[in-house]
Structure 1
Amino acid sequence: MRTTLFAFLLIFLCSPMLHAQEQGIHPQSQTYEWPADPLVKAKLDKWQDQKFGMIIHWGLYAVPGMIESWALCSEDWIDRDSNIAYDDFKKWYWGLRKDFNPVNFNPEQWAAAGKEAGMRYLVFTTKHHDGFCMFDTKQTDFKISNGPFANNPKADVAKYVFDAFRKEGFMIGAYFSKPDWHTEYYWWPKYATANRNNNYDIHKYPWRWNKYKEFTYNQISELMNNYGAMDILWLDGGWVRPRETVNAEVLSWGAPIPEWSQDIDMPKIAAMARSKQPGLLVVDRTVHGPYENYQTPEQRIPEKQLDYPWESCMTLANNWGFVNNDQFKSPAKVIHSLIEIVAKGGSLLLGIGPKADGTLPAEATERLAAIGQWTKVNGEAIYNTRTIKHFQDGNTFFTQSKDAATVYALVRIKEGEALPATITWKGNLPKKGAKIKLLQTGQPVKWVVEGDAVKLTLPAALLKSNDSYPALAFAFIPSSH
């Protein structure tokens, strides 16, 4: 069996099945409810100033370099070798805990790379669906601080991640999976695990579900009490939700839904969390209502501008966690996404997956540094901005300062193409006599209005530099002022 399992793993880890994780993506709910708490409103406004964040997926799945958690789930889109028993696979996966010893764990490297890129907030995966905890919980021994890494001074991983990013000025968020496939209170070994949901009828066994609710409440309480100032509680696993929130929209997503309510009492959890962390943003993904303080479209950018808070959570490579031989996006592609997202009213939460040894892949740090070269000189058009009604004209996107005094035009340059000698856009024309400033140099550029468009002439020195520019950003006072 040992040889067979090893052969299976080689097939599994190299298979195209990982592309099927698209079916594990959270959709975006269509309704939004503004928070009433003034402290939450203030925190939300501050968060909307940040625009660019890092989400870190790191757990057992980093050891073999495979898709995070989902391989444990028995659904049609998960393609495992049919010669290997499902229970054998689960035992192998749970057993990775004995091999997870990140002796080079370096959260300072992560924070420095994020700051270099221009990121301003963090969401760290304290527990994914597999139930393996990256913090020193007292509710289970299935955790990084109970294994080969237990005697390391930084065994309470989450503490050191949060501390490192706080020192760099980041807003801090804790990712937490509402489903937990490891605890017997969610997946009861008495029954098979048919899909992502809990595998027993809560109507028949309310005591077991109550134990799960207590387990979840206690773990979130630990995060809110023991890990310093927290800005965001980012809750994943939107299928764990009150039955009454499963409307026609949720049914249209196609995910398996049980006949019973997987209600974990979010009002109680949120009240406890905010008593410890006043103004805390709670992001109960896809469960529209008072505990989804901003929406989180995944691996996509909404087609239209949205007038409520949201973020696109997208990966730097193809996967959330570290996967062997993964393909990374170019810095230009990330910058182009950031520009479009901000112009449409959102923030970009970019996914990074550290390796099993605790360091970031070189491909990730290289790209983050290149992204940072752009944000360092063009950030004025990104950070602390808000939307403007006319937000796009072709490859030119627009933002404005919070006081609406300055408009920014961000012009995306197609990868591999040289800078054009002139740039033209329609709408958002500059005020007569105004200066249009090129942000990366701070110098004014020549411009003229021709009909309903403005035409800019780029400086000759910029055109002769032969540098590759993913985008140019300009600042000006609009004609409406």
Structure 2
Amino acid sequence: MKKYLLILTTLVSLQTYAQYQPNWNSLDQRPTPDWFQDAKFGIFIHWGIYSVPAWATNSNADGFGSGYAEWYWQRLFAPNLKIHKEFVAFHEKNYGKASYQDFVQQFKAEMFKPEDWARIFEQAGARYVVLTSKHHEGFTLWPSAQSWNWNAVDVGPHRDLAGDLSKAVKARNLHMGYYYSLYEWFSPVYKNDVNKYVNERMIPQMKDLVTRYQPDILWTDGEWDHPAKTWQSEEFLAWLYNDSPVKSSVVVNDRWGNDTKSKHGSFYTSEYGHGGTDNLPTNGFARPWEECRGIGESFGYNRNENLEVYQTGEQLVHQLVDIVARGGNFLLNIGPTADGRIPVIMQQRLKEIGDWMKVNREAIYGSRKWDKAPAYAKDSKLHFTQKGANIYAICSKWQDNIIIENIEKPTKVKLLGFNGDIKFTYKNKVLTIVAPQVNPNTIPCQYAWTYELSNAHK
């Protein structure tokens, strides 16, 4: 009996020791699941009540993010901003005295076909999807008990948008995730008693989101008002890593308090071209990173954006290559319309990326940054990734001769998407690849071309 009790006590002790404790020292020991770093490309979706007015200025008068259409409600009540008067004038001209809450009557999602969305994402080459389950406006896209009469089932579409999309995305074997705003602009409880808000609204909502839909990503935002202690982030993450139904697969970003960015989480985040420069890891935080941006300048759909504001397919492919070569993931945002359509211009851009990925996927999925690659330069036309013993040299501009220094001699050189042989010479650790004498447009991909260097990494 004593022996049995000793064994039982030992097992319980080991189990307790293996669990993550509610402090950063313990939580940071949890490794980031490999699937995330292997995936490389995901789709971000900003969709909510703000998709009804779908408007923001194209002026950067108030700096970074001033053209975000999803901030429409906040801009109407922010007289300190230079763009405030433009928002008020637009609103009064087109909606009179209607309140922001009145927009819910027009947020019907009547054209929303989640299976079509999931197909578009899969064909784009994305491996994961992140939907805004709740933005700073507080409206939830699932039937949250804490957002009674301010969620997509009680009002508006009268439909579980988050759940329906999750089913369609998972049916395509893509990873499903949710963006969740920790704070809310105009919640009376949040503004008057943040602790009550956290205990009675925020934590219950996040736990419900996780247990109900079992996402592989929880992407938090709106953390900047308070430190992680106030948000009870450590306690929540301990539950997520120890007891939630996705404890083994889930990844989280680094926005858990105004003191956590680039310090804690499964990966660190940046947006709109700031990746790898404005959010460098600190305090020994060694994790994957992810850059997010919209196809235009807004996350939520902005009817005020013209064609010149949108990135071309070539620009987006080049950004994907650049980010992956530097060891990151690319989370590209789309902003659906209030009736549930993905704008055709956004579908076109996703298709262009997908067409490129079909040919060059080996250089992207499951790859890692090549540590011996030449120093990164923003104007570089040659990027590298590494997978196993192979090195991939990706040219964003067609070159007749590609010269790579300080590399092992490959056993074979192949141009992805091209069936012919590729000639190369090797001397004094310098590899010279001779491009085939063809029109690059005849190769079944555009915008960038990849040479696979077999066994060039020792």
**TM-score normalized with structure 2 length:** 0.79
Secondary structure of the residue aligned to 1:64 is coil
Tell me, what secondary structure is at the counterpart of 2:342? coil
| Residue in structure 1 matching 2:343, options 361, 368, 380 | 361
* Shift, 1:480, TM fit: 5.7
Match in the other structure for 1:338: 320
Task: Note closer, same or farther for the CA distance 1:240–1:372 as it changes in structure 2 (3 Å cut).
Answer: same
Secondary structure in 2 aligned to 1:139? helix
CA pair 455-291 structure 1, distance change in 2 beyond 3 A: closer
Provide closer, same or farther for how the CA distance between residues 225 and 460 of structure 1 changes in structure 2, counting only shifts above 3 A.
Answer: same
- Aligned-partner Cα distance in 2 for 1:355–1:82: 22
Is 2:242 aligned against 1:235? no
Counterpart Cα distance in 2 of 1:343 and 1:379: 13
SS across alignment from 1:376: helix
Structure 1 CA distance for aligned equivalents of residues 277 and 339 of structure 2 = 39
Deviation at 1:391, TM superposition (A): 3.1
CA contact (8 A) 2:401 2:432 kept: yes
Q: 1:107 to 1:210 in 2, by over 3 A?
A: same
Q: Which secondary structure state, in structure 2, belongs to the residue aligned with residue 185 of structure 1?
A: helix
Structure-1 residue corresponding to 2:12: none
The match for 2:60 is: none
CA contact (8 A) 2:27 2:237 kept: no
Aligned length: 397
Residue in structure 2 matching 1:297, options 270, 277, 291: 270
Query: Which residue of 167, 170, 186 maps to 2:171?
Result: 167
Report the CA distance between 1:156 and its aligned residue: 0.6
C-alpha displacement at 1:34, in angstroms?
9.3
List alignment gaps of at least 5 residues for structure 1. 1-31, 188-199, 201-205, 246-261, 414-418
| 1:443 shift after superposition | 4.2
String of CA shifts for 1:73-97, please: whole Å, max 9, x gaps.
5263362228959999996212211
Q: Deviations over 1:121-146 (max 9, x none)?
A: 11110000011111110112211212
How far apart, in 2, do the equivalents of 1:320 and 1:290 lie?
25
Give unmatched runs, 5+ long, in structure 2.
1-23, 56-68
- 2:130 pairs with 1:146: no
**Paired letter, 2:312:** S
Determine whether 1:60 maps to 2:27: no
- 1:284 is displaced (CA, Å) by 3.7
Which residue of the other structure, out of 398, 402, 406, is the alignment partner of 1:424? Answer: 402
Q: How much does 1:36 deviate?
A: 4.9
Contact 2:36 2:251 (8 Å CA) reproduced: no
CA drift of 1:389 comes to: 1.6
Give 3-state SS (helix, strand or coil) of 1:410's partner. strand
The corresponding residue for 1:224 is 210
1:121 aligns with 2:128: yes
Alignment of 1:3-152 (within 5 A): 36=28, 40-41=30-31, 43=33, 45-66=34-55, 67-73=69-75, 74=78, 76-77=80-81, 79-81=83-85, 92-140=99-147, 141-150=149-158
Task: Specify the alignment match of 1:383 in structure 2.
Answer: 365
Q: How far apart, CA to CA, are the structure 1 residues paired with 2:316 and 2:54? A: 23
Shift of 1:325: 4.5
Does structure 1 retain, via aligned residues, the 8 Å contact 2:409–2:429?
no
**Separation in 2 of the partners of 1:464 and 1:97?**
47
Given that 1:423 and 1:456 are in contact with CA atoms closer than 8 Å, whether structure 2 keeps it comes out as yes
Match of 2:422 in 1: 445
- Match among 389, 392, 408 for residue 392 of structure 2: 408
**Residue matched to 1:250:** none
- The whole-number CA distance in structure 1 between the counterparts of 2:345 and 2:437 is 33
Aligned to 1:350, what secondary structure does the other structure show?
Answer: strand
Deviation, structure 1 residue 238: 2.4
> 2-side partners of 1:319 and 1:215: how far apart?
28
Q: 1:86 to 1:429 in 2, by over 3 A?
A: closer
Residues in 2 aligned to 1:303 and 1:454: alpha-carbon distance in whole angstroms: 30
Checking the alignment, whether the CA contact within 8 Å between 2:423 and 2:433 is kept in structure 1 is yes
Which deviates the most, 216-225 or 74-83?
74-83
Q: Mark the CA change 1:388 to 1:289 in structure 2 (over 3 Å): closer, same or farther.
A: closer
Residue 65 of structure 2: aligned partner: none
8 A contact 1:34–1:293 mirrored in 2 = no
Q: What amino acid is aligned across from residue 171 of structure 2 in structure 1? A: K
Q: Deviations over 1:415-434 (max 9, x none)?
A: xxxx44x13233253516x2
SS state of the match for residue 473, structure 1? strand
- Equivalent residue number for residue 268 of structure 1: 235
AA matched with 1:41: P
In structure 2, the CA distance between the partners of 1:467 and 1:268, relative to structure 1 (3 Å rule), is closer
The answer on whether the counterparts of 1:390 and 1:398 sit within 8 Å (CA) in structure 2 is: no
Q: Is the 8 A contact 2:169 2:176 kept in 1?
A: yes
Query: What's the CA shift for 1:292?
Result: 2.0
Q: Sort the Cα spacing of 1:139 and 1:479 in 2 relative to 1 into closer, same or farther, 3 A.
A: closer
Give the AA of the match of 1:217. Answer: I
- Which residue of the other structure, out of 429, 434, 449, is the alignment partner of 1:472? 449
Matched-pair contact (CA < 8 Å) for 2:28–2:265? no
CA contact (8 A) 1:398 1:409 kept: yes
- Residues 64 and 479 (structure 1), Cα distance of their counterparts in 2 relative to 1, 3 Å cut: closer
Say if 1:135 and 1:446 are closer, same or farther in 2 by CA, change over 3 A. same
Task: Tell me which amino acid in the other structure corresponds to 2:414.
Answer: K
Q: C-alpha separation between the residues in 2 aligned to 1:72 and 1:53? A: 28
Q: 1:220 and 1:85, CA in 2 relative to 1: closer, same or farther beyond 3 A? A: same
CA distance in 2, matches of 1:82, 1:333: 31
State the shift of 1:384 in Å. 0.2
Give the share of equivalent positions with the same residue, in percent: 28
Q: Counterpart amino acid of 1:341?
A: I
Mapped partners of 2:321, 2:91: distance in 1? 46
| Counterpart residue type for residue 436 of structure 1 | V
* Residues 465 and 377 of structure 1: CA distance in aligned 2, closer, same or farther (over 3 Å): closer
Alignment partners' CA distance in 2, 1:234 and 1:409: 32
Q: Partners in 1 of 2:156 and 2:373 — Cα distance?
A: 52
Specify whether residues 174 and 142 from structure 1 end up closer, same or farther in structure 2 by C-alpha distance, changes over 3 A only.
same
Cα 1:233–1:464 change in 2 (3 A) is closer
Task: Answer yes or no: is 1:177 the counterpart of 2:181.
Answer: yes
SS of match in other structure, 1:69: helix
- CA contact under 8 A between 2:32 and 2:287: conserved in structure 1? no
